[in-house]
């Protein structure tokens, strides 16, 4: 086995400050499953000289890693942990065959026609209510059905709406039907934005994409289309399928260049983090490196664009108790905490508070929840307990993986609480005001 040199690993001085930030260390109680332990293992693998049996044991600890990157925001030395993990996973892909379910998903997600067909089938299952029927079944099938159920929205028929405020709040700010002169001036100045429609988002959570487009328009952005865009490739990169991730990145770079948008808005924290790293992904390709870096510099989480624009305030459309959770790939990978808070603060009267231990990973982590359901559920358990304790009926989080994983956990534990993307709440607030 050949693992490439790991220059960033030398930054680690073994201080151990990362250990308490690591969800798998706190769950598995073995330092081999901690960031500094995994860095020791990576360095040892790069050096070589282990038996095949030892190598697979060492790789199993790397497989246990969620890739949440909470260790990066704990590391004083700036070890690029996520980058090291992806590099080692790519170099060891042949030794460490992915599970069938992971390979199948990665195969389908890289192929638009197959992806559309797959999503159609899955929506069909949802529409028939079959997933609702099986959501409480034990095992992977039950988890998968519950996960699908969390993507159901009022427009799909059965889902209940969030409770409306008992007393209608007076509209705040100018009449939205007639933009104020200032807003009109700003609107002209504000940028053209293309939205990454994504794989799961467009396939199962299309209403979130529509909400994203509406709230961006409402805040003065002109939303343009970017035909030809694909899955961002984050899942492929995380799993070590570097070539597939690079291919998807090149297709997306071309598509978004053609759209002539100044910014690419992403409403999935994991995708945003991956696209902001396109420059690194394609650093080895002389013809793509510059284009990849230019593209990465234009990628924004939707909350960043909204925060730059204000965002325009509106009265909250629900008086439900809202708990705010932070997706790891927003907080740790993209280092964003202020913009998502500004989005929520725009909704006046919103009964929101931060979930206790909101910085901890929920255990979703892309394919991890499917590949390692047992460990994933153990990591989710304290999150569900915190939601139960704080009595929230809505959990907001800006990443589809977290929305579905936490939502499925809530559903299966009999909790009435549901998960929502922050832009869904903002969109509700804007549309409630328009309706008045």
Partner 1 sequence: MDQLARALSGIVGPQHVITRAAELLVYENDGLPGYRLRPRFVVAPGNRAEAIAVVRALAAANAPFVARGAGTGLSAGSLADGIVMIGLHRMRQIYSIDPVGRTATVEPGVVNARLSKAAAPYGLHYAPDPSSQTACSIGGNVAENAGGPHCLKYGVTLNHVLHATVVLPDGELIELAAPRDDEIGYDLLGAFVGSEGCFGVAVDVTVRLTPNPARVCTMLADFPALDGAAKAVSAIIAAGIVPAALELVDAGTIAAVEASIYAAGYPTDVEACLLVEVDGPAAGLDDDTAAVQRICRENGARAVRTATDSSDRERLWQGRKKAFGAMGRVAPHLVVQDAVVPRTRLAPVLRRIGEIAERHRVRVCNVFHAGDGNLHPNIPCDGNDADEMARVHAACREIMEVCIGEGGTITGEHGVGLDKQPYMDMLFSPESLDAMCRLRDAFDPARRANPGKVVPVRYCREWNASPSARKAVGAAP
Packed helices 139-149 and 400-412: angle between N→C axes, nearest 10 degrees:
120
If binding is defined by CB under 8 A, does position 290 make contact with partner 1? no
Q: What are the C-alpha distances in Å from 416 to residues 130, 258, 322, 403, 412?
A: 19, 44, 13, 15, 10
If binding is defined by CB under 8 A, does position 34 make contact with partner 1? yes
Which H or E run contains 109? Answer: helix 100-109
If binding is defined by CB under 8 A, does position 381 make contact with partner 1? no
CB of 287 to partner 1, least distance (A): 32
Closest to partner 1 by CB, 29 or 188? 29
CB of 54 to partner 1, least distance (A): 4
Among 4, 48, 76, 117, interactor with partner 1 by CB under 8 A = 76
Among 23, 36, 110, 205, interactor with partner 1 by CB under 8 A = 36
CB of 17 to partner 1, least distance (A): 5
If binding is defined by CB under 8 A, does position 95 make contact with partner 1? no
Residue 42 dihedral angles phi and psi, to the nearest 5°: -60, -45
Beta partners for residue 359, in sequence order: none
Looking at residues 4 to 23 of the shown chain, list those that interact with partner 1 (rule: CB under 8 A): 10-20
Q: What are the C-alpha distances in Å from 215 to residues 85, 186, 359, 400?
A: 36, 15, 26, 18
If binding is defined by CB under 8 A, does position 75 make contact with partner 1? yes
If binding is defined by CB under 8 A, does position 375 make contact with partner 1? no
Report the helix count and the strand count for the chain, using DSSP H and E.
Answer: 23, 10
Among 27, 73, 337, 377, interactor with partner 1 by CB under 8 A = 73
Residue 388 dihedral angles phi and psi, to the nearest 5°: -60, -45
If binding is defined by CB under 8 A, does position 37 make contact with partner 1? yes
Q: What are the C-alpha distances in Å from 217 to residues 100, 165, 211, 345?
A: 41, 25, 10, 19
CB of 60 to partner 1, least distance (A): 10
Residue 420 dihedral angles phi and psi, to the nearest 5°: -140, 155
**Residue among 247, 150, 249, 260 nearest 200 (CA):** 150
**H helices present in 23-111, as ranges:** 23-28, 35-47, 52-63, 81-91, 100-109
182: buried, middle or exposed (CB in 10 Å: 19+, 13-18, 0-12)? exposed
CA dist., res. 26 & res. 28, Å (int): 6
Q: How many residues bind partner 1 (CB under 8 A)?
A: 35
If binding is defined by CB under 8 A, does position 29 make contact with partner 1? yes
CA dist., res. 204 & res. 324, Å (int): 22
If binding is defined by CB under 8 A, does position 74 make contact with partner 1? yes
Among 1, 44, 118, 125, interactor with partner 1 by CB under 8 A = 44
Closest to partner 1 by CB, 69 or 300? 69
Q: What are the C-alpha distances in Å from 346 to residues 178, 223, 313, 351, 359?
A: 19, 21, 4, 12, 22
If binding is defined by CB under 8 A, does position 77 make contact with partner 1? yes
CB of 34 to partner 1, least distance (A): 8
Q: Pick the stretch among 53-61, 156-164, 207-215, 282-290 that binds partner 1 (CB under 8 A).
A: 53-61
Among 3, 23, 24, 40, interactor with partner 1 by CB under 8 A = 40
Q: Pick the stretch among 29-37, 127-135, 288-296, 339-347 that binds partner 1 (CB under 8 A).
A: 29-37
Tell me which residues touch partner 1 (CB under 8 A): 10-20, 29-32, 34, 36-37, 40-41, 44, 50, 54-55, 57-58, 61, 72-79
């Amino acid at each position: 086995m050949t693992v490439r040199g790991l220059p960033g690993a030398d930054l680690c001085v073994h201080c151990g400050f990362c250990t308490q930030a690591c969800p798998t260390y706190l769950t598995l109680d073995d330092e081999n499953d901690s960031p500094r332990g995994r860095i020791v293992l990576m360095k040892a693998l790069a050096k070589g000289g282990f038996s095949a049996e030892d190598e697979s044991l060492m790789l199993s600890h790397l497989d246990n890693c969620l890739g949440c990157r909470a260790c990066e925001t704990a590391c004083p030395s700036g070890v690029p942990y996520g980058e090291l993990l992806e590099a080692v996973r790519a170099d060891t892909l042949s030794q460490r065959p992915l599970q069938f379910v992971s390979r199948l998903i990665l195969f389908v997600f890289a192929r638009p026609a197959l992806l559309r067909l797959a999503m159609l089938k899955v929506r069909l299952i949802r529409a028939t209510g079959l997933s609702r029927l099986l959501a409480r079944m034990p095992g992977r099938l039950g988890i998968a059905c519950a996960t699908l159920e969390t993507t159901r929205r009022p427009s799909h028929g059965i889902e209940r709406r969030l409770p409306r405020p008992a007393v209608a709040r007076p509209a705040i700010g100018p009449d939205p039907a007639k933009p104020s002169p200032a807003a009109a001036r700003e609107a002209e100045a504000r940028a053209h934005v293309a939205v990454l429609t994504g794989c799961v988002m467009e396939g199962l959570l299309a209403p979130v994409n529509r909400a994203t487009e509406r709230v961006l328009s409402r805040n003065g952005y002109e939303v343009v289309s970017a035909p030809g865009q694909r899955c961002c490739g984050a899942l492929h990169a995380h799993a070590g399928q570097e070539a597939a991730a690079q291919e998807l990145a090149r297709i997306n770079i071309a598509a978004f260049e053609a759209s002539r948008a100044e910014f690419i808005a992403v409403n999935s924290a994991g995708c945003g983090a991956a696209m902001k790293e396109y420059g690194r992904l394609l650093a080895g390709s002389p013809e793509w490196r510059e284009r990849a870096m230019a593209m990465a510099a234009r990628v924004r989480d939707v909350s960043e664009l909204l925060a730059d624009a204000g965002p325009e305030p509106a009265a909250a459309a629900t008086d439900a108790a809202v708990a705010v959770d932070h997706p790891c790939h927003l907080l740790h990978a993209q280092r964003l905490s202020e913009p998502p808070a500004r989005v929520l603060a725009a909704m006046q009267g919103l009964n929101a508070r931060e979930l206790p231990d909101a910085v901890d990973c929920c255990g979703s982590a892309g394919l991890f929840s499917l590949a390692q359901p047992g460990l994933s559920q153990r990591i989710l358990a304290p999150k569900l307990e915190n939601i139960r304790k704080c009595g929230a009926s809505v959990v907001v989080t800006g990443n589809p993986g977290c929305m579905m994983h936490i939502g499925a956990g809530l559903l299966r534990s009999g909790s009435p609480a549901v998960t929502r993307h922050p832009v869904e709440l903002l969109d509700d607030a804007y549309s409630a005001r328009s309706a008045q």
